[in-house]
Amino acid sequence: MVTKQYTGSLDDADLTRADSLAREIFSDIANKWALLIIEALGDRTLRFSELRNEIEGVSHKMLTQNLRMLERNGLVERCVHPTVPPRVEYTLTEPGRGLLKTTHYMCDWTHQYLGHIEASRRSFGD
């Protein structure tokens, strides 16, 4: 469980290894660039440079860094074609595709409530 579901007086030491791992993974994917990469990939196979063009505002460094993280966690498969110049293609794995449902939903949600949020910000004092 990613959040505590009990209200006892347990402290950090009582988190099981699985729980802290779950939290670590949750933190990895609950991240702007990771989710945008997953959403951009979808069911397609894209090259590094194509991903960079798809994702507005991502830097070379952030893209590399997050792709390595997603690869490490087995959400993205990296395929290197030994050509000159090199061609590196990225594809979501089955676990990675499992997150598409979430990213699509989050994108839909964002557009659905764009007006609500803009109004709320104004009344909040922006």
Can you give the binding site for a copy of itself, defined by CB under 8 A?
A: 1-4, 7, 12, 15, 18, 21-23, 25-27, 29-32, 35-36, 39-40, 53-57, 71-74, 95, 98-99, 101-102, 105-107, 109-114, 116-121, 124, 126
CA-to-CA distance for 76 and 80, rounded, in angstroms?
A: 13
- Count of C-beta atoms within a 10 Å radius of residue 88: 14
Residue 99 CB, nearest approach to a copy of itself (Å):
6
x/- mask, DNA, residues 9-38, rule CB under 7 A, reads -----------------------xx-----
State which residue, 62 or 99, has the beta carbon closest to DNA.
62
- Given candidates 47, 54, 97, 102, which one binds DNA under the rule CB under 7 A? 47
82 contributes a contact to DNA by CB under 7 A? no
Q: What is the total residue count of the chain? A: 126
What are residue 40's DSSP bridge partners? none
Q: Is 86 in the site for DNA (CB under 7 A)?
A: yes
Name which of 43 and 126 has its Cβ closer to a copy of itself: 126
Q: In what order do the strands lie in the sheet with 87-92?
A: 45-47, 87-92, 76-81
| Whether the Cβ atoms of residue 27 and residue 21 lie closer than 8 Å to each other | no
Separation of alpha carbons 34 and 38, rounded Å:
6
